[in-house]
Structure 1
Amino acid sequence: MPIDVLSANLASPALGFFALGVIATRMKSDLSFPEQAAKALSIYLLIAIGFKGGVQLRAEGISSSLALGIGAGLFLAVTLPLVAYLILRSFTPVSRIDAAAVAAHYGSVSVVTFVAATAFLSAMGESSEGFMITLLAAMEVPAILIGIYLARRGGGSTSNHRFMDTLTHGPIVLLIGAAVVGAATGEAGMAQLEGFLVTPFLGVLALFLLDMGIIAARRLGELRQAGLRLLAFGMVMPLIGGTAGVLLGTAIGLSVGGATLLAVLGASASYVAAPAAIREAVPEANPALSLGLALGVTFPFNLIVGIPLFYTAAQLLA
């Protein structure tokens, strides 16, 4: 990884605020973020990234690249949870139920990691295909379904949870809805909202990552009994998913930015939609393992190492 790319990432204010949240929490500080304020920041980020993606999608139009991109995203969403499950069952002491639950999280995607990667690409002067938002939405559900299937196959819950309810999960609705509005209004709409959705974006992201740093540091405590092999999984699995993503993205002709984002989607782990679905469908699973790994290990790993690493790989392969 070129030193200048890593240095640019480590020197970003957003990552600095994430580190501040972690350090403050580990120091036993009472620093906290009001729940409603954090929710408002999340809503802003989702609207901003969705709207911008919709504007780009309108400019690009429907193409074979869109079909190939969706196919690649779905391939990752189906394959990665199976790989994660196999690794967990072969090399860690977790049960079949917990392995299936963790696999669902690692096959699904993290919206916040995607947003952070978009901000990183913007800082690097890279653009990406507008349909990457569509890939994010398409990859959310399949891995959750596979994880639930693996859990039930191993004697898990027989809950009647409606799997497709995940599609109506708030962040997904907001992302897709904002993309639709962006596609409908195009550049004219962007011109009207640029001062609200573009200029303040990095500042809002910094505040949001401050809160995420606080939450991530708290989750680290839940992994003290997990063992080194499980902690290693939280760093190895994103490397596997990210490598697959950047190779697929490059193979189907995505831009450097697009291949980077596909890699980030493959490397990320869900800690919003997947926990909600797994909690209802597989109540026997231990949420501390899934959330602790996704938020306490994989999320910071991707922020610090993964995003610049996948970007560099995309540049080398382009």
Structure 2
Amino acid sequence: MSAVFDTLSVNLMVPTILFFILGLVAAAVKSDLSIPEGAAKFMSLYLLLAIGFKGGNSLAEHGLRGDLLVAIMAGLLLSFVIPFAAFWLLRVMTRLDAMNAAAVAGHYGSISIVTFVAASSLLELSGIAFDGYMVAVAAAMEVPAILSALWIAHRFSGDQAVGGVPARELFANGSVVLLCGAFVIGAVTQDKGMEMVAPFVVTPFTGILCLFLLDMGISAGRSLLNNRHLLNPGLFSFGLLMPITGALLGWVVGSVIGLQTGSLFLLIVLSASASYIAVPAAMRIALPKAESGIYLTLSLGVTFPFNITVGLPLYLWMAGMGS
């Protein structure tokens, strides 16, 4: 057991995670530290472009193989199934009505691309290889959870006002478009393209990620402080238990399909994370009666900080055990 804690402590001592913790501390002491909105938007676009391009370039180096399709199918399966597990846990652990439970569940079946980027950076800093096509798996896991959440809401809430989300709202989401587009460009341009943009997408990546996670730490901390009245013990416990549940499901599926340590870790992270960008936008349209304060506070204020600070090193240890 001591070896486990030694591994976790070592993996916590990286700049990206420590800058996120600094953001949480700044929010807790009510510091006026902040990142301008325009700068935060630029950093998010940069990170999506960089991780997508590098993933596409890695795919070009290794070629299109059957394991890519297997991994994407595994990601789709997890994204469809995890909302049902989340819904069941919410009904057991909390007093949320079916509508709000379905909305929350959809967030946990989808993914946090920021958590994925932080996880990829942790692998690079640790010198652990992973398959570039995991970027495609991340993109594939954005949408299915929304469909599961809508089915759950329609089936269990008894509210006939449950609507659909236009296909454009699902597939034209800015983060999905940029991530997939950069992935394709990286794959098409291959080594020549990487040589041209490496000074932009490789060298400054970790520094920009540190600054971005500082901003996310501030946002997550303030969200938790401002909405803590919404979090009863059951909901708060769910926000900590559900990522571990998703991680275990990802670990099982990834181990079955034979993913190696780095890629298995990323699948675990994707399964454990919760969306706070794409799914909230979809839920506002499809489930307007659901309380946004509940699902945003859980995903951004509870699960995201847990995953970045404790989850990532824990999931990396799990991946090492499973491969």
- TM-score of the aligned structures, taking structure 1 as reference length: 0.96
Letter in 2 for 1:142: P
**Which residue of 312, 315, 322 maps to 1:307?**
312
**Structure 1 residue runs without a partner (length 5+):** none
Measured against aligned partners, the alpha-carbon deviations of 1:137-163 in whole angstroms (never above 9, x if no partner) come to: 111101011112222331343435314
Letter in 2 for 1:312: W
Do the aligned residues in 1 keep the contact of 2:115 with 2:304 (CA within 8 Å)?
A: yes
- The aligned counterpart of 1:199 is 203
**Superposition map of 1:124-273 within 5 A:** 124-153=126-155, 154-156=157-159, 157-221=161-225, 222-273=227-278
- The aligned counterpart of 1:108 is 110
Specify the SS of the correspondent of 1:28. coil
**Which residue of 32, 36, 40 maps to 2:34?**
32
- The aligned counterpart of 1:14 is 16
Q: RMSD across aligned C-alpha pairs, in angstroms? A: 1.4
Letter in 2 for 1:291: L
Give 1:4 deviation, angstroms.
4.3
Specify the SS of the correspondent of 1:127. coil
- 297-306 or 109-118, larger mean C-alpha shift: 297-306
Give 1:274 deviation, angstroms.
0.2
Structure 1 Cα separation of the partners of residues 314 and 28 of structure 2: 27
Specify the SS of the correspondent of 1:119. helix
- 156-165 or 286-295, larger mean C-alpha shift: 156-165
**Which residue of 43, 53, 56 maps to 1:54?**
56
Measured against aligned partners, the alpha-carbon deviations of 1:12-39 in whole angstroms (never above 9, x if no partner) come to: 1222221221111221222222111100
- 260-269 or 193-202, larger mean C-alpha shift: 193-202
Give 1:126 deviation, angstroms.
0.8
Specify the SS of the correspondent of 1:254. coil
- The aligned counterpart of 1:79 is 81
Do the aligned residues in 2 keep the contact of 1:223 with 1:289 (CA within 8 Å)?
A: no
Q: 1:164/1:241 Cα in 2 relative to 1: closer, same or farther (>3 Å)? A: farther
Give 1:102 deviation, angstroms.
0.2
Letter in 2 for 1:199: T
Measured against aligned partners, the alpha-carbon deviations of 1:203-244 in whole angstroms (never above 9, x if no partner) come to: 000110111011101211313332111111111111111111
Give 1:164 deviation, angstroms.
4.9
Specify the SS of the correspondent of 1:126. coil
Do the aligned residues in 2 keep the contact of 1:241 with 1:266 (CA within 8 Å)?
A: yes
Structure 2 Cα separation of the partners of residues 245 and 126 of structure 1: 19
Structure 2 Cα separation of the partners of residues 262 and 10 of structure 1: 19
Do the aligned residues in 2 keep the contact of 1:108 with 1:143 (CA within 8 Å)?
A: yes
| Residue identity (%) | 47
Measured against aligned partners, the alpha-carbon deviations of 1:167-221 in whole angstroms (never above 9, x if no partner) come to: 1100100000000110011122112222211111110001101110111012113
Letter in 2 for 1:183: A
Do the aligned residues in 2 keep the contact of 1:243 with 1:310 (CA within 8 Å)?
A: no
Structure 2 Cα separation of the partners of residues 236 and 163 of structure 1: 32
Give 1:9 deviation, angstroms.
2.7
Give 1:106 deviation, angstroms.
0.4
Letter in 2 for 1:209: L
Q: 1:188/1:5 Cα in 2 relative to 1: closer, same or farther (>3 Å)? A: farther
**Structure 2 residue runs without a partner (length 5+):** none
Structure 2 Cα separation of the partners of residues 212 and 149 of structure 1: 31
Do the aligned residues in 2 keep the contact of 1:65 with 1:253 (CA within 8 Å)?
A: no
Letter in 1 for 2:294: L
**Superposition map of 1:266-281 within 5 A:** 266-281=271-286
Give the paired residue count: 318
Letter in 1 for 2:19: F
Give 1:165 deviation, angstroms.
2.1
Q: 1:60/1:39 Cα in 2 relative to 1: closer, same or farther (>3 Å)? A: same
Do the aligned residues in 1 keep the contact of 2:58 with 2:187 (CA within 8 Å)?
A: yes
Structure 1 Cα separation of the partners of residues 146 and 82 of structure 2: 11
- The aligned counterpart of 2:72 is 70
